[in-house]
């Protein structure tokens, strides 16, 4: 990826030219194929990454052995930063590529140098972490306030409005995102379909009635 395309990505756009050039000189590009495990939870953290293209899935294993999907990351997003910031430097979560992807790799030692030498790099990371934390907080609020049915309606609308994230969701992943289990997602999708809110066509979930889905999405758990 050339510097011009790199600088158009959100994270890099905020860096000073000097920091940007130093990063471009130190980090290296790596192509990974669909299904590749870039980071394995519990292993020693060796690097952080920046997604240049494609999509990665961040997940953690629950105590009962179930996989919980934490996030999906696309172009411009930093990956595995928390693991490098933790004292034990153990990977906090696993990261798998959902599509053929390209990442920029910054090794742990270089990451430390950047943190201490380039304040704008640290600020950009802090902003990104704050953005993700805000997302997690609103997810937690949604889980406690809304019914599963309304969370699913909201989730479907969100995905349809962000086409770059709208594909590649299994029902387990949808369930993990809205805090339920696969069977419930399957049952609710069938209910939405029988009520004419959505239509299923093989891999496609087609949203047919925005107003009705919106009103479902606003149902509080009272």
Q: Do 60 and 68 form a contact (C-beta atoms < 8 A)?
A: yes
Beta-carbon count within 10 A of 8 CB: 12
Query: Which of 199, 214, 215, 218 lies at the binding interface for another protein (CB under 8 A)?
Result: 199
Span near another protein by CB under 8 A; candidates 19-27, 107-115, 139-147, 167-175: 167-175
Task: Give the contact letters, 41-80, x = binds to another protein (CB under 8 A), - = no.
Answer: --------------------------x-------------
Q: Considering the rule CB under 8 A, would residue 99 count as an interface residue with another protein?
A: no
Length of the chain: 222
The pair of structure tokens assigned to 213 is: 């889905």
Query: Which of 131, 206, 215, 218 lies at the binding interface for another protein (CB under 8 A)?
Result: 206
Task: Give the contact letters, 24-43, x = binds to another protein (CB under 8 A), - = no.
Answer: -----------x--------
Instruction: Please state the closest distance from residue 207 (CB atom) to another protein, in A.
Output: 5
In which element (H, E) is residue 3 found? helix 3-7
Phi, psi of 195 (to 5 degrees): -90, 0
Instruction: Please state the closest distance from residue 80 (CB atom) to another protein, in A.
Output: 21
- Give start and end residues of each alpha helix (H) in 65-107: 81-85
Counting Cβ atoms within 10 Å, is residue 62 exposed (0-12), middle (13-18) or buried (19+)? Answer: exposed
Q: Considering the rule CB under 8 A, would residue 212 count as an interface residue with another protein?
A: no
CA separation (Å) from 106 to 33, 55, 110, 221? 19, 18, 6, 44
Query: Which of 105, 205, 212, 219 lies at the binding interface for another protein (CB under 8 A)?
Result: 205
The pair of structure tokens assigned to 31 is: 């192509």
Q: Considering the rule CB under 8 A, would residue 182 count as an interface residue with another protein?
A: yes
* Count of residues engaged in binding another protein, rule: CB under 8 A: 25
- Classify 60 as helix, strand or coil: strand
What residue ranges bind another protein (CB under 8 A)?
Answer: 35, 67, 156, 159-160, 163, 166-172, 174, 182, 186, 199, 202-208, 210
């Amino acid at each position: 990826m050339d510097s011009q395309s790199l600088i158009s990505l959100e994270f890099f756009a905020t860096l000073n030219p000097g920091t940007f050039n130093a990063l471009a000189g130190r980090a290296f590009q790596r192509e990974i194929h669909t299904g590749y495990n870039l980071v394995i939870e519990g292993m020693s953290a060796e690097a952080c990454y920046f997604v240049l293209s494609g999509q990665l899935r961040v997940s953690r294993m629950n105590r009962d052995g179930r996989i919980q999907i934490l996030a999906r990351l696309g172009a411009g997003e930093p990956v595995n930063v928390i693991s490098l910031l933790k004292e034990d430097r153990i990977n906090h979560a696993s990261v798998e590529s959902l599509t053929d992807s390209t990442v920029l790799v910054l090794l742990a030692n270089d990451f430390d140098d950047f943190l201490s030498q380039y304040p704008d790099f640290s600020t950009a990371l802090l902003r990104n972490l704050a953005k993700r934390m805000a997302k997690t907080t609103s997810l937690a609020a949604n889980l406690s306030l809304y019914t599963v049915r309304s969370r699913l309606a909201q989730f479907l609308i969100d995905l349809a409005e962000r086409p770059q994230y709208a594909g590649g969701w299994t029902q387990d992943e949808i369930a993990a995102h809205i805090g339920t289990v696969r069977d419930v997602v399957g049952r609710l999708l069938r209910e939405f379909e029988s009520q004419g809110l959505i239509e299923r066509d093989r891999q496609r979930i087609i949203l047919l009635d925005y107003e009705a889905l919106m009103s479902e999405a606003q149902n509080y758990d009272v």
